[in-house]
Amino acid sequence: MKFSSVSVVSNYDSALTDYPAVTNLSSGARSMIPMSASHPSVQRLLNREQGILKFNERVLAMAGDASVPALERLRYITIVSNNLDELFEIRVAELQQRLKLGRDDACALESSLDDIACRARELVDRQYRLLNDTVRPALAAEGIVIHLMADWSEAQTEWASRIFDTEIEPLLTPIALDPAHPFPRILNKSLNFIVELDGHDAFGRRAGVAVVQAPRALPRVLAVPPDISGHAHGMMLLTSIVQGFVGRLFPGMKVREVHQFRLTRNSDLFVDDEEVTDLREALQGELLQRQFGDEVRLEVSADIPEHLVGLLLGEFELGARDCYRVNGPVNLVRLQQVIDLVDRADLKFPAFEAAVPATLRARDLFAAIRKRDVLVHHPYESFSPVMRFLMSAARDPSVVAIKQTVYRTGDDSALMQSLIDAAKAGKEVTVVVELMARFDEETNINWAAKLEHVGAHVVYGVVGHKTHAKMALVLRREPDPSGTTRLRRYVHLGTGNYHPRTARLYEDFGLFTADEEICADVHEVFRRLTGLGERGQLRALAQAPFSLLDMVLESIQREIAHARAGRKAAIAAKVNALLSQPVIDALYEASAAGVQVDLIVRGVCALRPGVPGLSENIRVRSVVGRFLEHSRVYVFHNDGDPAVWLASADWMDRNLLRRVEVAFPVRDRKLRDRVIDEAIKVHLRDNLDAWLMDAEGDYARSRPRGRHAGYRSQMALLERLDAHLAG
């Protein structure tokens, strides 16, 4: 497959957006982007941070949906908190850093931070109202009660007192604030208490303010015995118990105020691409400092007095804009423990057992793949064939080499253990470990060390370009019809990570193939990642940062040409995010030419759909349901012979220009039709979990109209694939 050469250099110079002006385009690239794109205005693109917040509003709507089981509604509340943490740790931290450096337009940065704070505060307020007014009462009606201190019975108070004295107090270290006791270093996202006291201590010192830090070894949710609780599932929060008995840490003192607080810090890691000589060593040094990055956000209890808020903001050098008052625990992520403690299947989504496609149930997995390409759609179909592919390769004496990329795989991974076993067995094992996978850096460093210990070849990709491609290559020595042996390649390519746990929660596609062109291309990509030399020509795959953007732009231009020639033209894509300006401008041009464009974008989308003269032929929807929509699928009508691509890459500049990503074609006609149906058509029918985006970037939830029945795409796929596989 041949793509014209395109060189795109991004110039970042905007505080409001992450969309670069596109400069230094080759002549081939200029022909693929409308002239108006060379001077984009903010009006053509929507703000990234606001898009992230709107996505979380859609997630929070699931917590307010009465049709969602009660414990799952609580789970959505915790997911929003986790997402907001990352927004502040990375995106807001970056904007604040730019403001401090003074290299950007300060007014624009301040305005952007104000807008984020305004919408984030509204979202947080709605989140706590849902928790307190809707979700907790719904759980209480089912015997799942979180006992707040104000409502403790005598028996509950005695139990909490005993737990404080025996399990909590020995781990606490109260720190008074005075010239001999400076303000302690506060860990990122840790639970802390600020205590205001009256009285004098044993040294005659007049009491003032103290800080108590809750060690992370302490559980944030404690199960209360049913006979004490009076309910089948009673619980207390660590915050309530500490606040109830904190005075015991200060004998003889009077506690005037005690309030919880939580600090969010900049958690992005910085590794100088030009200075680093050992990426793993440099990253390990950075990880030690992640807990103490620059302060970004302060969360406090709603009833904390102003003078204590002022003390904390002054200590952390934050402003009023950065302070969030909450009516409940400052870290709702920890309420996930409630879900883990309660064994009530009726209050969770119905359990299902993902089946294995019949083709992959054969004893000889490699023979099945050799016969034809096999598609798997997780979580509707089991991830076990992927595990079996690598585990059997590790044991198979005919397998001589295994190569795999690792982005996220988990602390306890049978797949990684298989690679270790293969290396121990004397096979050539090459693993490209992405050490910069955000928040999984330490896990990946540990796996890299274990792999190196058993003699596997471990590389970290290309400094400055995260390796985000999902590839596994197995080389097997097999007899051919003439009786001589030859090396045959087998490949698994995916849109998601090699992570068995998330494969039960994330929607993704995987392809097993022995197609010689695809296998040769995967071999070439591994060569680029592990060695040196000029890049060879790929025949089937498109790879970022070299040819993936070219392929997307050329495919869009082909649809434009069909439309202008009077032929049917259509584009459909399913991605997690759409931010790339070259792609957006090309889609605008396609719309103007009459191409019908359907975009299913789970998260942030910078494109404005439905604008007359700009994007009236573009529709954008987002699907938020039980599973996290994660696959990346590009479909181009191609005059009736659809070109269908599966990919690891979203349509973002970082994916298309600054990462190692792979898009792979689905060549089998039946599998191609299946992808179009299961990734595109089914979601375009959804009228319960789909959200329709307007030109201002706002979303309205789709609802059944007229006599149309309600249709949930994820439920339809569960029922369809389960019925198909059972038959």
- Residues involved in catalysis: 468
Q: Three-state DSSP class for 330?
A: coil
Q: Is 572 helix (H, G, I), strand (E, B) or coil?
A: strand
Taking the C-alpha atoms of residue 111 and residue 449, their distance in angstroms, rounded to an integer, is 45
Euclidean distance between CA atoms 436 and 321, whole angstroms: 31
Quick one: tokens of 16?
Answer: 């409001």
Confirm if 3 and 549 have CB atoms less than 8 A apart. no
Q: What is the token pair recorded at 200? A: 């004098």
Secondary structure tally for the chain: helices H, strands E = 23, 29
Rounded CA gap, 119 and 110, in Å?
A: 14
> Is residue 454 exposed (0-12), middle (13-18) or buried (19+ Cβ within 10 Å)?
middle
What's the rounded Cα separation, in Å, for the pair 703 and 692?
Answer: 10
**Which amino acid makes up residue 435?**
L
- Are the beta carbons of 282 and 276 closer than 8 angstroms? yes
Residue identified by tokens 């030419």 is 593
Cis-peptide into 379, omega within 30 deg: yes
The closest of 478, 580, 459 to 525, measured between CA atoms, is 459
Q: How far is CA 620 from the centre of its chain?
A: 20
- The secondary element (H helix, E strand) that includes residue 486 is strand 485-494
195: nearest Cα among 260, 248, 258, 239: 258
* Plot region of 720 (φ>0 → left; ψ -120 to 50 → alpha; else → beta): alpha
* Residue 664, C-beta contacts closer than 8 angstroms, at least 6 positions apart: 493, 511, 518, 540, 541, 542, 645, 646, 647
List the beta bridge partners of residue 506.
628
3-state secondary structure of 244: helix
Cis bond before residue 137 (omega within 30° of 0): no
Report d(CA 473, CA 523) in Å as an integer: 8
Within 225-342, residue ranges assigned H as helices are 226-229, 238-245, 279-289, 306-316, 336-341
